[in-house]
Amino acid sequence: MTKTITMAAATAGHAEGGTTLNAFDNALLAAGIGNINLIKVSSIVPPDVSIIELPKIKPGAIVPTAYAAMTSETPGETVAAAVGYALPDDPQKNGVIMEFHGVATREEAERQIRAMLDEAFSVRGETIHKMQVFAVDHTVERIGCALAAITLLAEEDLV
Amino acid sequence: MTKTITMAAATAGHAEGGTTLNAFDNALLAAGIGNINLIKVSSIVPPDVSIIELPKIKPGAIVPTAYAAMTSETPGETVAAAVGYALPDDPQKNGVIMEFHGVATREEAERQIRAMLDEAFSVRGETIHKMQVFAVDHTVERIGCALAAITLLAEEDLV
Amino acid sequence: MTKTITMAAATAGHAEGGTTLNAFDNALLAAGIGNINLIKVSSIVPPDVSIIELPKIKPGAIVPTAYAAMTSETPGETVAAAVGYALPDDPQKNGVIMEFHGVATREEAERQIRAMLDEAFSVRGETIHKMQVFAVDHTVERIGCALAAITLLAEEDLV
């Protein structure tokens, strides 16, 4: 796309909803990204990208996003979603994003992400300069969703 | 993406096919969007977008689209797909799109969409100014697909 | 998106990994597309696009890609992924891409793709000028992935 990705921002949220899609929508709202268009990407941090706090994004903006979501309709079940990124020593090389969703606790999700990022850097022959993981879990009342996301942003996406 | 979304157009279609992917392809053709590249979005109507009839879109155009599809290889089974949007009173705020697919009739799919849009607006604290639902069902002969979609379009996507 | 797709390049790869997501990541690396952001498209070759060998793509580039992947955690199982395209006689008309993934051999995957492309052209009333299929299989040791992809590229995506 012609717009240039210059920022990445992570977030996570969880919520109940009347349907699984509403639970997902509500989790997006809880995460602060419920009014934008997510396009799922698989899942690289471009070189020279700034990691920032989630900014105010224009409503309806079309935003490439690596995300994981887990919905459940089983009351009492704990579900988790997590994303994490790792950046290499050389800022001109790309970072890697990993996602996890499942019946799990937040701690288990975080551990999975770290292990996946470790392997991703090991196979690339790179060492990890910085790693950060964003995870959330949700214990279902009726219908619930846990969601974690890393948005890839351009200047024009911001309010 | 740098192109600016200024229009949204909904459509639906259903078809049989020799494989599930061909049934999906044939349903896309029946819906008039079989020769473009759909990118799945999750799923907001940007502010100030015109809702239009499905226009002629350039072959191969890459079009962010909220869509739902249900394929089935069970002869006699009725499957449905639906999308719907709701717009708020304030045209500078975004609308919301919901999708449904499943073993269901068109009427059931429509009811689901309306309920999901109601909840989406309720949690956003907005009232619905306009709501429209596009649904289709298909009773499978051998391998069938029901599909409904809302395309998000820019001027440059049109023929 | 404003960038203009002028090239398409296919590739395939397979790998083991410590998790299914790492196996997928490793298969992407084996295929030469492990350091870019794939956006899944459904799945048309735009008119007047050159089919090229996989070029060097900028790390982190956001690339619309038709892909199929099959991961398995069943040791001894053979999984396959394939993509193929067919182009019509008239270069100003679009081509079609089909994807396959499943528990299958490479030969079975290739046959599926050919049959799906034949049907896609038959229903469009076009004859196939050129067809090419890219398939790979993988016999799982512990956790494996087979992946095949056709990337849709713009000049600006290349190194």
The residue of chain B with its CA nearest to that of C96 is B35
Specify which residues A12 forms β-bridges with: A148
| Pairwise CA distance, residues C151 & A15, whole Å | 36
Which of B6, B22, B58, B71 is the best residue to mutate to test the C interface, defined by the most C CB atoms within 10 Å of its own CB?
B22
**Is the model's pLDDT at A1 over the cut of 80?**
no
Q: What is the mean pLDDT of the segment spanning B143-147?
A: 98
Q: What is the DSSP string of A65-104?
A: EEEEEEEE-STT-EEEEEEEEEEESSTTS-EEEEEEEEES
Residue type, A34: G
Q: What is the mean pLDDT of the segment spanning A5-14?
A: 98
Which of C33, C37, C56 is the best residue to mutate to test the A interface, defined by the most A CB atoms within 10 Å of its own CB?
C37
Q: What is the mean pLDDT of the segment spanning A111-134?
A: 98
The alpha-helical segments, DSSP class H, found in C18-136 are 20-31, 106-124
The residue of chain A with its CA nearest to that of C60 is A46
Query: Strands, DSSP E only, in chain B?
Result: 7-16, 37-40, 44-45, 50-52, 62-72, 78-88, 95-103, 128-139, 144-153
A residues 110-129 lying closer than 8 A (beta carbon) to C? 112, 115-116, 119-120, 123-124
3-state helix, strand, coil in chain C (%, to 5): 20, 50, 30
Q: C114 and C98 in contact (C-beta within 8 Å)?
A: no
Q: Quick one: pLDDT band at residue A114, thresholds 50, 70, 90? A: very high
Closest among A83, A87, A85 to A129, alpha carbons compared = A87
- Percent of chain C topping pLDDT 70: 99
Amino acid A134: pLDDT: 98
Amino acid A101: pLDDT: 98
ipTM (interface pTM): 0.96
Amino acid B2: pLDDT: 66
Q: Do C156 and A116 touch (CB under 8 A)?
A: no
**Active-site residue flag, C126:** no
The helix (run of H) or strand (run of E) holding residue B75 is: none
Over residues C107-129, the pLDDT tens digits come to 999 999 999 999 999 999 999 99
Q: What is the mean pLDDT of the segment spanning A127-141?
A: 98
Whole-model pTM?
0.97
Amino acid C15: pLDDT: 98
- Percent of chain B topping pLDDT 90: 97
Amino acid A3: pLDDT: 85
Token pair recorded at residue B137:
């069902």
Q: Which portions of chain C are predicted below pLDDT 70?
A: 1-2
Q: Do B19 and C96 touch (CB under 8 A)?
A: no
Amino acid C3: pLDDT: 85
Residue with tokens 């597309």: C33
Q: What is the mean pLDDT of the segment spanning B139-147?
A: 98
Over residues B67-99, the pLDDT tens digits come to 999 999 999 999 999 999 999 999 899 999 999
Backbone angles phi, psi at A85, to 5 degrees: -130, 155
The answer, for A21 touching chain B at a CB cutoff of 8 Å, is yes
**Is the model's pLDDT at B27 over the cut of 60?**
yes
Closest among A126, A131, A91 to A114, alpha carbons compared = A131
**Active-site residue flag, C107:** no
